[in-house]
Amino acid sequence: MADETGYNLKSAKEIGKGSFVIIDGIPCRVVSVETSAPGKHGASKARITAIGIFDGSKKTLLLSGHSEVPVPEILKKRAQVVSITESTAQLMDLETYDIFEVPIPEELKGQIKAGGEVETMEAMGRRTITKVVGGS
pLDDT one-digit tens code per residue, 99-122: 999 999 988 888 999 999 999 999
Average pLDDT over residues 58-82: 92
Q: Does residue 70 have a pLDDT over 60?
A: yes
Q: 35: pLDDT confidence band, cut at 50, 70 and 90?
A: confident
* Whether the predicted model's global pTM rises above the 0.85 cut: no
Q: Is 74 helix (H, G, I), strand (E, B) or coil?
A: coil
pLDDT for 104: 92
Closest CA to 88 of 118, 64, 61: 118
Which range marks the domain in which residue 127 is found?
Answer: 75-134
Average pLDDT over residues 84-101: 93
Residue 92 is part of a domain; what is its CATH number? Answer: 2.40.50.140
pLDDT for 5: 55
pLDDT for 135: 52
Please check whether residues 15 and 65 belong to one and the same domain.
yes
Burial class for 49, CB neighbours closer than 10 Å (0-12, 13-18, 19+): middle
Burial class for 79, CB neighbours closer than 10 Å (0-12, 13-18, 19+): buried
Please check whether residues 87 and 130 belong to one and the same domain.
yes
How high does pLDDT run on average in the chain?
Answer: 88
Residue type, 6: G
Please check whether residues 52 and 93 belong to one and the same domain.
no
Average pLDDT over residues 6-14: 83
Residue 29 is part of a domain; what is its CATH number? Answer: 2.30.30.30
Rg (CA), the chain: 18
